[in-house]
C-alpha cells in the first residue's frame, strides 16, 4: 500500500502517498482551524494570518520566500476555509526538503512585521471590495449569513474592512498560538516522496508546535430565513440553502447522490429543466458542503428579474419531485460520476494530497479508495430519495437574493413553499 501514516509524539500526523511514476511532489501543512474558530472580535483573522505567513520570517523576507520556491521551478500557495487552513507547495522531487523547510519556516517563525501587516491588510480590504463587485460570489456570503446568523460558521472568511484593519501582530500571534497545535495539524505529501524522509524533516522542523489540541469551535445551528438586497445589476442572483449533513453522517453519500442528480452537472434535473427546456438562466447548480457537525446543501441560479419567480417555482417543484421520482438511471449516473472523480484525483498529486489532508482532519485516518467506493455503491434509489425527503423536512430554507426589481422578496418567499410541501 502506497499510503503511509505516522503520528509524532506531539500529536502531529504525517501522511504520504508515494506515486513512483511522477517526478514532482505536492505537499503541505494543514491546520484544523478556519474561520469558525475565530472569536467574535477575530472576524477575518484566520485568513489574514494565512496571508501574513508569507510576509517574512526570521530567516527570509517576503521576497525571499517567493524566490526560494520559484528559483527551483516550484509554486507556493495557501487557502483558508471554514474549518481548516492549508499551506502547500509543488516542486520537483529533488526539492521536497527545501519546500518543507520553507513551509515550516513561514509557520514556526513568522515575524508579522508591522509595515508588511499594514500592506497586507490593505490587500485584503481590496479583496473584500472585489467580492462586493462579484454578485455571484457575494450572494453565497449572504446565504451563509442567513443560514447561520450570528455564528462564526456563518461569517465571511475574509472578514470586514474594519475587523481586518483592527488586528496587530500580538493578535495574530495569540490566534496562532491558540489554534495551530500539533494535534490539529497534518503534513501531507503525494507524488515523488519518501515517507520516512518526510517524517524526519517534519519532526525536526515543526517541533515548536506542541501542547494540547486547540479548543473546539462553538456548535453550528442552521436557522434559515431570507435576505434580499436590491442592487443595480443586470441579473437577479439567487441562492438557496437547506440544512445538510455532517461529515461523518451515515447518509452522507446518499445525500451527495441526491444532490448530484438534482444539480450536479449538465445532465442534472435542474440544468435540463431550468436551462435547457425553459431557458430561464445561463448558470444553475447545486452542491452539498459537509462540516464537522452540520452541513449545507445549496443551489445557485442567475436570471432576469422577470423570470425569477418562475425560476424559483420550477426549482421548488424539481426538488420536491426528485424526492419521489429519482430513477435508477439517474442514481447510477451520479454514482459513476462520484467514483470517476475519486479515481481522477489519484492521477494528480495536488488533488491527492488535498484529499489525504481532508480525510486526516475529518476522520483521523486516510480512507482507502475501496472503502469510499463501497459506500458509494451502497447508495440505493430509495436511500437517495429518503435523503432528499429528510433534506427538505429538516429546517426552513435560507434564501439570499441580490439584484434589481421590487419582486425579490416575493420570489424568495416562493422557496418557503418547500417547507409546506415537506410537511
In the chain, where the domains are located: 3-205, 225-422
Helix (H) or strand (E) holding 206: none
Closest CA to 34 of 206, 158, 191: 158
HEC sequence for 87-99? EEEEEEHHHHHHH
Closest CA to 62 of 49, 51, 73, 47: 51
Sequence-ordered list of residues with C-beta below 8 angstroms from that of 97, at least 6 positions apart, any chain? 197, 201
Q: Spell 207-239 as b/e; 16+ CB within 10 A means b.
A: eebeeeebeebeebbbbbebbbeeeeeebbbbb
Distances (CA, A) of 262 to 111, 240, 299, 361: 48, 14, 10, 29
- What CATH class is the domain 3-205? alpha beta
Cell of 205: 522542523
Per-residue confidence (pLDDT) for residue 187, from 0 to 100: 98
Per-residue confidence (pLDDT) for residue 420, from 0 to 100: 56
Cα separation, 207 vs 196, in Å, equals 16
How far is the first Cα of the chain from the last one, in angstroms, to the nearest whole number? 49
Cα separation, 205 vs 76, in Å, equals 18
Percent of the chain as helix, strand, coil, to the nearest 5: 50, 20, 30
Catalogue the active-site residues.
Answer: 50
Per-residue confidence (pLDDT) for residue 412, from 0 to 100: 78
Q: Is 2 helix (H, G, I), strand (E, B) or coil?
A: coil
pLDDT in tens, the chain (423 residues): 599 999 999 999 999 999 999 999 999 999 999 999 999 999 999 999 999 999 999 999 999 999 999 999 999 999 999 999 999 999 999 999 999 999 999 999 999 999 999 999 999 999 999 999 999 999 999 999 999 999 999 999 999 999 999 999 999 999 999 999 999 999 999 999 999 999 999 999 999 999 899 999 999 999 999 999 999 999 999 999 999 999 999 999 999 999 999 999 999 999 999 999 999 999 999 999 999 999 999 999 999 999 999 999 999 999 999 999 999 999 999 999 999 999 998 889 999 999 999 999 999 999 999 999 999 999 999 999 999 999 998 888 999 999 997 778 888 788 777 755 554
What CATH number has the domain spanning 225-422? 3.30.830.10
Contact 237, 137 (CB under 8 A): no
Sequence-ordered list of residues with C-beta below 8 angstroms from that of 260, at least 6 positions apart, any chain? 268, 334, 337, 338
Sequence-ordered list of residues with C-beta below 8 angstroms from that of 205, at least 6 positions apart, any chain? 100, 101, 104, 105, 108
- Longest Cα pair distance anywhere in the chain, in angstroms? 63
Q: Which spans in 206-327 are helix H?
A: 252-263, 269-270, 308-325
Same topology, domains 3-205 and 225-422? Answer is yes
Amino acid at each position: 500500500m502506497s499510503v503511509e501514516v505516522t503520528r509524532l509524539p506531539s500529536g502531529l500526523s504525517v501522511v504520504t502517498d508515494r506515486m513512483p511514476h511522477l517526478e514532482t511532489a505536492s505537499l503541505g501543512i494543514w491546520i484544523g482551524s478556519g474561520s469558525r474558530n475565530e472569536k467574535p472580535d477575530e472576524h477575518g483573522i484566520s485568513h489574514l494570518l494565512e496571508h501574513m505567513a508569507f510576509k517574512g520570517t526570521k530567516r527570509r523576507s517576503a521576497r525571499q520566500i517567493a524566490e526560494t520556491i520559484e528559483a527551483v521551478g516550484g509554486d507556493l500557495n495557501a487557502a483558508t476555509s471554514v474549518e481548516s487552513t492549508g499551506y502547500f507547495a509543488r516542486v520537483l522531487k529533488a526539492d521536497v526538503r527545501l519546500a518543507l523547510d520553507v513551509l515550516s519556516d513561514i509557520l514556526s517563525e513568522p515575524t508579522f512585521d508591522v509595515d508588511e501587516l499594514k500592506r497586507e491588510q490593505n490587500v485584503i480590504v481590496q479583496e473584500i471590495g472585489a467580492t462586493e463587485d462579484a454578485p455571484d460570489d457575494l450572494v453565497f456570503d449572504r446565504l451563509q449569513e442567513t443560514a447561520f446568523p450570528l455564528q462564526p460558521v456563518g461569517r465571511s472568511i475574509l472578514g470586514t474592512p474594519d475587523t481586518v484593519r483592527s488586528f496587530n501582530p500580538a493578535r495574530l500571534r495569540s490566534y496562532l498560538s491558540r489554534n495551530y497545535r500539533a494535534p490539529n495539524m497534518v503534513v501531507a505529501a503525494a507524488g515523488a516522496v519518501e515517507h520516512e524522509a518526510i517524517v524526519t524533516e517534519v519532526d525536526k522542523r515543526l517541533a515548536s508546535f506542541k501542547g494540547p489540541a486547540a479548543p473546539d469551535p462553538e456548535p453550528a445551528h442552521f436557522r434559515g430565513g431570507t435576505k434580499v438586497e436590491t442592487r443595480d445589476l443586470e441579473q437577479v442572483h439567487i441562492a438557496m440553502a437547506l440544512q445538510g449533513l455532517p461529515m461523518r453522517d451515515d447518509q452522507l453519500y446518499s445525500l451527495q447522490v441526491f444532490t448530484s442528480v438534482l444539480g450536479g452537472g449538465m445532465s442534472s434535473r435542474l440544468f435540463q429543466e431550468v436551462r435547457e427546456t425553459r431557458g430561464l438562466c445561463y448558470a444553475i447548480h447545486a452542491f452539498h458542503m459537509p462540516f464537522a457537525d452540520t452541513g449545507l446543501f445549496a443551489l445557485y441560479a442567475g436570471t432576469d428579474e422577470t423570470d425569477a419567480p418562475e425560476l424559483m417555482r420550477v426549482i421548488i417543484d424539481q426538488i420536491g419531485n426528485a424526492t419521489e421520482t429519482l430513477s435508477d438511471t439517474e442514481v447510477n449516473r451520479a454514482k459513476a460520476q462520484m467514483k470517476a472523480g475519486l479515481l481522477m484525483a489519484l492521477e494528480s498529486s495536488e488533488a491527492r494530497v488535498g484529499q489525504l489532508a481532508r480525510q486526516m482532519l475529518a476522520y483521523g485516518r486516510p480512507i482507502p479508495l475501496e472503502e469510499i467506493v463501497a459506500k458509494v455503491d451502497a447508495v440505493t434509489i430509495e436511500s437517495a430519495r429518503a435523503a432528499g425527503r429528510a433534506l427538505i423536512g429538516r429546517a426552513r430554507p435560507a434564501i439570499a437574493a441580490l439584484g434589481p426589481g421590487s419582486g425579490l422578496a416575493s420570489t424568495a418567499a416562493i422557496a418557503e413553499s418547500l417547507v409546506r410541501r415537506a410537511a
